[in-house]
Amino acid sequence: MLAAPENRFQHVYFALSALVASAMLVLVYISMRSSLNERLREDLAKAQRQMIFERPNPHWDYSNSWRRIGNSTLRHEIYSAYFDARTDIVGNVRMDDEQMTIGSLRIFAILPERLRDSSINCIVRFSDFSSQEIKAEEAGAMHDVHNNTFAAWSIMCPLHASRRSPLRLPQAVALAYASNRLSHLSPTFIQISYPRNMTNMFGRSRPTISVCVGPLHENYSNVLRLVEFVEMYRLQGATHFYFYYVEASEEVLRVLEHYQRIGLADVFEWNVQAHMQDVHYAGIVAQFNDCVYRANVVDNFRYAAVVDLDEVVMPLKHNTLADYLRQCDEGRTAGFVFRNVFFHRRDSNDTFNAPSHVLNRLLYTQSKVRRTLEVLPAYIRSKVVVNARAIVEMGNHQVYRAAPGYADHVVHPTVGLLFHYRDKCINCKMVLIVDYTARRFGSLLFDRVDNTCLEVFLNRGICDLV
Ligand SMILES: *[C@@H]1O[C@H](CO)[C@@H](O)[C@H](O)[C@H]1NC(C)=O
Ligand SMILES: *[C@@H]1O[C@H](CO)[C@@H](O)[C@H](O)[C@H]1NC(C)=O
Ligand SMILES: *[C@@H]1O[C@H](CO)[C@@H](O)[C@H](O)[C@H]1NC(C)=O
Ligand SMILES: *[C@@H]1O[C@H](CO)[C@@H](O)[C@H](O)[C@H]1NC(C)=O
Ligand SMILES: *[C@@H]1O[C@H](CO)[C@@H](O)[C@H](O)[C@H]1NC(C)=O
């Protein structure tokens, strides 16, 4: 029998009310859960700050190198591991009577782009040689594989500690997974990098600008460019440089040693020879992620500029990069994205501003004064100065993943640009304009380059331009 029209109306009305009520219940449940989760994370952060963290490997000097994992013919390699105190980037945190999450381990490796294992484990080892296996919460190839068979991997294993006994941190870690049986039978342990100064772990980062330079390879030999690059960034306020080399000329290595000796640079061997053909650009993805984690975890530096030797970040309205950051960083920016303009190395040499007394006259930032009018869009060949503490996964031209609460800032092209001094033009017909901005560093830059070249190459004072 058909219901009376008002009866049917009532049915619809009840059904709708029930729907609204259950939607509200679900919303209340979700908000309760997320506020519980927030509370748990706040409590965890508080409890974490009250623990005593002691570096378990105080004599280790932080010098990593690539090492084979398990079966050597597979060419699986591991480079570095960092203790990461940020619990907000761990998915499943624990905080009960037994255990609490104290952070995670971040490991960088080179593995096949497609590994058939469904899971990877971290084997952590303590100073008494006891060990423990932890299932990785994240394990995968990072972005920018570019169709290579091998890729730079980022692996994250959460660390939980017992609440009943004093905190014990692992000293070393290895990766174990089924497709490489030997990785489990004879693990390749690498030392875990902890902060140099453990008391700074939860304090503010030091407002230092560090510079991460892509791996030097193919017998890199342009000494003058290297010195000019370092002195240019120093004039802009950078105080530390991280260099990685696959292969470089003897003179380049002498310059790097010099900067290392005066405490300005760390220099790491980047022995990826086994993968020069099958991983993107000498493993650069692993390199800049390693560098940003190193700046954050080991040295507690706030900023890392991830650039190549032919790229200069150029603020246009502030005197230096340091001034720009001091005035414009409000603390929630993951990366300041500087958009790209090209200068061409083939362009004529304008040495007009080189003082007559200088020995090294052909500085690239001073002799090339014409740049492309077009500013490329953000994330296309742009470069980023990151807040190291905000980074989970770094890319070459952008931040791929930031910690909760941080976002990118694209620098307006009237405020700053990336000056990219390329050897070859990509489109040689592009409209060029004269831009003298970099010349404001000229007088100091010429002298500093000459001084460094004199210190390193006593007899001549000339840095070769190759
Ligand atoms: C190592 O890997 C190669 C290639 O997959 C395989 O032929 C060899 O049996 C493996 N060796 C061991 C000891 O598992
Ligand atoms: C990637 O490699 C495959 C197989 O070698 C090839 O067919 C494909 O065209 C490549 N793609 C790109 C974007 O290079
Ligand atoms: C570690 O940092 C603290 C606080 O910044 C400082 O007081 C202490 O001197 C530092 N220790 C070392 C060995 O540098
Ligand atoms: C590297 O370059 C330097 C200087 O250009 C040269 O003397 C040396 O022979 C080169 N080494 C190799 C292995 O090519
Ligand atoms: C600029 O100077 C370099 C070094 O002397 C020289 O090799 C190059 O040909 C010059 N470029 C032009 C366009 O004259």
> Structure tokens of 183?
């990785």
Q: What is the DSSP letter of 400?
A: E
Residue 447: alpha-carbon gap to chain centroid: 32
Rounded Cα distance, 110 and 123, in Å: 18
The pLDDT score that the predictor gives to residue 267 is: 97
Structural domains of the chain in order of their starting residue, each with its CATH number: 67-194 (2.60.40), 206-456 (3.90.550)
- SS3 string of 6-22? HHHHHHHHHHHHHHHHH
Nearest atom, ligand 1, residue 71 CA: 1
Does ligand 1 have an atom closer than 6 angstroms to the CB of 465? no
| CA quadruple 137, 202, 126, 80: dihedral sign | positive
In this structure, the residue with its CA closest to atom 7 of ligand 3 is 199
The pLDDT score that the predictor gives to residue 81 is: 98
List ligand 4's pocket residues with C-beta within 6 A.
219, 221, 249, 466
Distance from residue 105's CA to the centre of ligand 1 (Å): 29
Q: Give the E-state strand segments of 262-310 in sequence order.
A: 265-269, 301-307
Distance from residue 222's CA to the centre of ligand 4 (Å): 11
The pLDDT score that the predictor gives to residue 3 is: 53
The pLDDT score that the predictor gives to residue 5 is: 56
The pLDDT score that the predictor gives to residue 4 is: 59
Does ligand 3 have an atom closer than 6 angstroms to the CB of 186? no
Does ligand 5 have an atom closer than 6 angstroms to the CB of 348? yes
Nearest atom, ligand 3, residue 198 CA: 1
Probe residue for ligand 1, chosen from 71, 177, 179, 180 as the CB with the greatest number of ligand atoms within 8 Å: 71
The pLDDT score that the predictor gives to residue 111 is: 97
Residue 159: alpha-carbon gap to chain centroid: 22
Probe residue for ligand 4, chosen from 218, 221, 246 as the CB with the greatest number of ligand atoms within 8 Å: 221
Please give the model's pTM, rounded to 2 decimal places: 0.92
pLDDT by residue for the chain (466 residues), tens digit each?
Answer: 455 556 776 777 777 788 888 888 877 777 777 777 888 899 999 999 999 999 999 999 999 999 999 999 999 999 999 999 999 999 999 999 999 999 999 999 999 999 999 999 999 999 999 999 999 999 999 999 999 999 999 999 999 999 989 999 999 999 999 999 999 999 999 999 999 999 989 999 999 999 999 999 999 999 999 999 999 999 999 999 999 999 999 999 999 999 999 999 999 999 999 999 999 999 999 999 999 999 999 999 999 999 999 999 999 999 999 999 999 999 999 999 999 999 998 889 999 899 999 999 999 999 999 999 999 999 999 999 999 999 999 999 999 999 999 999 999 999 999 999 998 877 778 899 999 999 999 999 999 999 999 999 976 788 987 6
Does ligand 5 have an atom closer than 6 angstroms to the CB of 464? no
Distance from residue 277's CA to the centre of ligand 2 (Å): 15
Distance from residue 456's CA to the centre of ligand 4 (Å): 18
Distance from residue 52's CA to the centre of ligand 3 (Å): 15
Rounded Cα distance, 36 and 40, in Å: 6
The pLDDT score that the predictor gives to residue 237 is: 98
Ligand with an atom nearest the CA of residue 278: 2
pLDDT digits (tens, 9 = 90+) for 289-330: 999 999 999 999 999 999 999 999 999 999 999 999 999 999
Kindly list the distances between the CA atom of residue 209 and the CA atoms of 173, 206, 252, 401, 417, in Å, as whole numbers in the listed order: 30, 9, 23, 21, 17
The pLDDT score that the predictor gives to residue 429 is: 85
pLDDT digits (tens, 9 = 90+) for 9-31: 677 777 778 888 888 887 777 77
The pLDDT score that the predictor gives to residue 466 is: 63
The pLDDT score that the predictor gives to residue 239 is: 98
CB under 8 A, 24+ apart: contacts of 144-147: 144/280, 144/285, 144/395, 144/396, 145/113, 145/280, 146/280, 146/281
Distance from residue 163's CA to the centre of ligand 2 (Å): 52
Probe residue for ligand 1, chosen from 69, 73, 149, 184 as the CB with the greatest number of ligand atoms within 8 Å: 73
> Structure tokens of 32?
């309760």
